[in-house]
Structure 1
Amino acid sequence: MRIVFILVLAVGVGLAGFAVSIAKDRFDQYQTALAEQRNAILPTTQVVVVNRQVRYGETLTEDDVSLIRWPAEHVPFGAFTSIEELFPENDELRTVVRIMEQDEPVLLAKVTAPGEDAGVASRLEEGMRALALRVDVSSGVSGFLRPGDRVDIYWTGTGRSGEGVTRLIRANVQLIAVDQIADEQRNNPTIARTITVTARPEDVAALTQAQSTGSLTLALVGVGDITESETVEVSTSELLGDVEIIAEGPEVCTVRNRRGADVIITQVPCVN
């Protein structure tokens, strides 16, 4: 019995030692993984976000924003990193020019400068100008245009040869306002009378001349369309195809005589 007891005790001690060794290995692995995770934590910085959904034209106040931690290497371009940067000491507030959802970072492109309203001038990039063009239900894509869309502009008029022609004069032109509406989130279709586009000064001159010498037609460009439109021009002759000219033959004169129910046609010399 003593030998059996000693054997059982030895086996128990061995199993206990083995269990302790396994537990120690597991604990060491956990500590190593925890250390690696701590070392892998990205450095963060503060970014200003909105507390609620804000829409075009609203005035942004300090109650509408808060600071959160954001990965320092992935801060969006134009983000504000402090409340003081967003709201200067002159107490002039900024106006929202693009919709922002809750917890979305406030970007420089989505608000005006302090004290400015959400007018068209705040939407223009450096070197660009705003130009108003006349449209109607047919040229304005049946009222489905809205601010932020891009369009190709076609001109229809008389070419140098005196023949009617339609030509693509400007491609991927961005709309910043439809009539008096500059809100990009407006989805209700309206029949616009004027649209406002952004253009370089040389494009302003070209579009103004085109509008005064012919008619303009807009073609809506798809949201994800990144193709570059090539030069497009169609004349009347190209549209109708080649016209076959048939040479005229000699003049033929006839005389019709009725005999009962019959009509007899007789060719006679023509007298001018």
Structure 2
Amino acid sequence: MEEIPVNKTNTNGYTFMFAIIMVVVVASVLAFTATTLQPIQNENVRQEKMQNILATVGIETERSEAEGLYDKCITETVALKEDGSVDEKADAFTVDLARELKKPGNEQVYPLYIANIDGAKYYIIPLRGKGLWDAIWGYVSLKDDVNTIKGAVFDHKGETPGLGAEITQTWFRERFADEKIFDGSGNLIGVSVVKGNVGPSNKEDNKVDAISGATITGNGVSDMISERLQHYLPYFKKQKDIKVAIQ
């Protein structure tokens, strides 16, 4: 009886070998692509960071133009220690707040960006906190009285579209302009995102209107503003040109 030849491509061994080869090829292509694109991605992140910092002082720009404007407007960057002294070894721009927040307060580094625009001085402070689902972050700039907000930008990792994710919208950010972070007694209390705020035009009440249906995200914004700003008080108290009464 004639023996029927076996088609090796139908065997389990052939299938497994083919799968292994495809996994290796695809993984190699992905690894090569990721390695090639990483410098471009890092540069985009760096420029976007400059965009966000500039946006807090009213400068909206394309990402490709951000670095030139940043170098022109940001006159000083400092990395601060908990006592308000400057950490000469740290680069403020490269500080990763996500990592810093995992450290004890006395080991953290606090970046500060100082802008000078048309003779006006602004202090820009990075923010990071917790929203409903994941991290939220942003920047807030203070006028030279270190009490009045010039502007703010916010972003998030995973807030709900149409609800918490609205913190990125211009109309929400604009609510913070000219709000005060100190109360009438000079205590730093930040700005609270409050549902049903009855005085949205009152810039002395330390409150802005909340986003409907996004209470937890709004609370996260309130908490990260007050928590982050507190760490900069020691530095501000040492500055002789601060006008506001700081307790």
Fold agreement, TM-score > 0.5: no
- TM-score normalised over the length of structure 1: 0.26
Task: Flag the structure with higher helix content.
Answer: 2
- Rg larger for: 1
Task: Flag the structure with higher strand content.
Answer: 1
